[in-house]
Amino acid sequence: MSEKPAPPPHLGSLVNALLDWYGRHARDLPWRRTRDPYAIWVSEVMLQQTQVKTVIPFWERWMREFPDLISLAEAPEDRVLKLWEGLGYYRRVRSLHQAAQNLKNDHGGRFPKDYETVLELPGIGRYTAGAICSIAWGQAVPILDGNIIRVFCRLGALAGDPKDPELNRMLWEQSKRWVETAAASGRPEACSHLNQALMEWGATVCTPRVPACDRCPLSAHCQARLQGRVEAFPELAARAKVTAREFVVALIEQRGRVWVRQRAADALNGGLWEFPNLEVEPGAAGGDLRLRSFFGEMNLQHWKPLTVVRHAITRYRVTQRAFASEWVGTVGELPGGGRWCREAELEALAMSSAHRRIARAWTGVRDRLHPD
């Protein structure tokens, strides 16, 4: 026998139920212990496409080194990138750094309270601006991320792709009604807590798979649950096809140093340091021969397999096959620019996670690569 739907509740009762639940079950996260808009901003940028448990140590280390907006604005880019190393999606931190510099130059180093002004900053979209303004300043502005989309689509059994403009507009309107209802409740920190409660609800209870409906504060009113179709919502479009990409990487050493180059500022992972590399056909053999051909008659010899690193970037599954070779003769330079680095210097540079793993593979075996 199917469960009988509960009568439609007044929105205020839903908002109050969610706020009560948040008061009892909110996780104790370090950025929730402050109303500093700068600290909240940093946490929101770090949390994009990254899990909370990963972000916590990065956020704490960041706030120790860059405790305020001015310290970030005045920091050299290399140091900013280095501190971000391991979080990925480096365009986020480049925009964060640029926005801090803009705020120092144009706003006297103060974070603006005006939502539209916040929205104009590099790297800040509608969600991030809403999160900062509601959490830091208590403003009744909406937010909408993947967690909130999921809970709203399930609560109302809303059909369609949330990226469809009309449904997306409806979801933003719904979020706006919820936070405005919270503001009208007169409860302390209502807007801040409501928006954080919506995120917390989706992150810890109404999860993408195997949601904990028995712990949901609004399960009696969830249309998807009443229909027995919770995991059918939201109706997301099919993911882009996974594409394999493969690179051969040259670890060239000379008297305890290795050659690295810096990626262009406007490239993917711009500003990071890496080893020379070539993209090849996935699965193709003879990566060392491709490197030998590329570097030609330069003073290189004995290309030896070093390590294989596999990782994912959005829809790409990337394989990096690293080969080590020794530069013999007098010191020279390689095509494409770069510099020779000793191990300590290499550790201080900002690198992608994949190339950092290659660097550490080299430090682990370098004494055996070219025995006397």
Active site residues: 44
The one-letter amino acid at 88: G
Please list the helix, strand and coil fractions of the chain in percent, rounded to the nearest 5, in that order.
50, 15, 35
Tokens 């803009």 sit at which residue? Answer: 102
3-state secondary structure of 344: helix
3-state secondary structure of 295: helix
Q: Please state, in angstroms and rounded to a whole number, the distance separating the CA atoms of residues 224 and 222.
A: 6
Nearest to 80 by CA among 64, 94, 92, 68: 94
Q: Which residues, listed in sequence order, are joined to residue 308 by a DSSP beta bridge?
A: 321
Tokens 């309270």 sit at which residue? Answer: 113
Q: Please state, in angstroms and rounded to a whole number, the distance separating the CA atoms of residues 202 and 149.
A: 9
Q: What is the DSSP string of 90-129?
A: THHHHHHHHHHHHHHHHSTTPPP--HHHHHTSTT--HHHH
